[in-house]
A and B are shown apart, each in its own frame.
Chain A
């Protein structure tokens, strides 16, 4: 039994934590929240210099060729630091999409640029509030031209390229992914006002925009599921990282805040709350580890592992971030304290790849298959 990261991976994690604790404090996060940029450009450059974007990209495409376990440990640290950079959309979504569905040529064209930090990528799927379903996709991809509108695309304001889910005919069988240059003619981006201002979002309109197919027509829906599964596992590590910081903050505050002549950490209502956070975080971490194993080995359990990691991590981060505010009392509800950054990031990470509700349905579908 060896269900843990190895020493090299732990060393990488320590390095990442050290690096981020210097380069990405909550001041950095606040800077993006309060400024008018959509990300921290200096940090993004430094992360690129570390080569992290290429962690799981094979060497032949300019990456470090380390692997997914290594990417998981970095993801956890990015999550802890609330890093205000387009890492998840570029690496977990865009690069994974190219790796999964791209041709050799497309891999050569895009992956080295991702690894070098030269392009920012994202993934655009939703078109309206509510569930994303084959029938809700109205954006068309016909004769090499993309037409339609996507909403609340994460890192939309700053992305160079996007993978877009579009309709080539009708229903699920008509869906296809394509890659589009967001700087090209006919692309109109409108910044969105969102809850988590440390991550930019925009609506994107396409009018006769040239795009290239990614994967086959008719396989867009299945391709997207595979990409989302992989991204969900990596995102679960970010969520677990964030949730652990919430517990540490709550604990630190509770030990030092006095009420009724004693530390509030000595009140059971607070102790039990923190114990529950701990239980939730540990369960989420264990589910995320199983996801990491599935990602690393390409096990056929991957979709189930992904859904479990996603649901568990979303629940843990939600709980830890809201009860962290509660533990802080009035000061926790101020803009000046950092608590709200985690509360908002928990929501952002919990919605960006699709909501808990949808992942729970998917989880049970996978269970039904595995029992059949």
Chain B
């Protein structure tokens, strides 16, 4: 039994020797550590934060943003044990098979692995995020539980799909990895979790192919060194970039950046609100459309309108998950539209209900949406980051085609109708939220010229440096990333067990 060790209590200038060092104790770092618990590997987990939030530590996350309005860099993530799961929404959904494919209508898309490579890891990932039984898209689960009926959509490009939610332990929702798994980390004899330990540089050997040591510092002025055989960088999709770019004493452009890719292709899932008004002719939608529903088997589910792979291919759209937000009222034109259309279709709309619709969109990869180092430095001397945020009109145009198809399906099934509320770019941006899903900045590709890491997460050109987390996603999906990045990280755990044996 080890404990959570506070790095501020270590002797200054200590050197720690280990088989594997994991940098970052968010869901990626913690999942990886747990997957190696009980193995023969000596694992050191370095986490910048403590168990609780500390504004001084959080401040190291601040940076600059330009372009499309986006959350400040210190607002969309948390620098403490458990990382982003200390404030996540718990939405889980596995990525679809098409998300991994090279889609000729989505430039720069395609993973070097298929969804099949992740499938063996989803059950454990689902257990770690505590999202209950795996019943995504098993048609009828929510219906059978008496929670209401699925809206008929008559085939076509969209279907009712499901989120499941991380949950549990009384009222605590959702799972905060730091709180939830710290006892498991302490119990594992081969894992040493070190808190308040900030990695400030990744030091390479002179050949630039091997990490030799890490520089680590505390905010109280202690410095120490870690000499590992292998390193996994798991600091999240923003901070991974900072450490790679700032560690530039041997590789002048930063580690893994020989093709100027580190920090490029930044992405998130935009969540434009009130993009459309959905009318249900038959009356109120089943409650699982507008809110989380707890099923007797323990699953917490919520319905969403997802795109089929066939529709994505034929309509050349990206992924999207459109979700009912709240009841809204119709204006006079809206009433006229509903009355006129329902009568023509021969439908009784006397009990019609109207809702606003929001969406989680998949962005197209864009090399110029990127993170770069800025001039200013943080308390430990690391350059801060600057984000250039962009979103293309084409991203909105594609999603608009998806909404048109949903409107067509509602009419075809005589279930309802749809109004598109966004016409100009400003309309889309007006009510725009973001998922705070930091994706794509160290993208995965089998080709070293197209990616920072290979299909196993190994940094191209390096022998012992891996990256875990959603920064490796080369194209993004509309599904929330955490369940998927945990599955990918568990796969990395298996890989490391083999290569480090």
Q: Do A and B associate with each other?
A: no
Please give the residue numbers on chain B whose beta carbons come within 8 Å of chain A beta carbons, in ascending order.
Answer: none
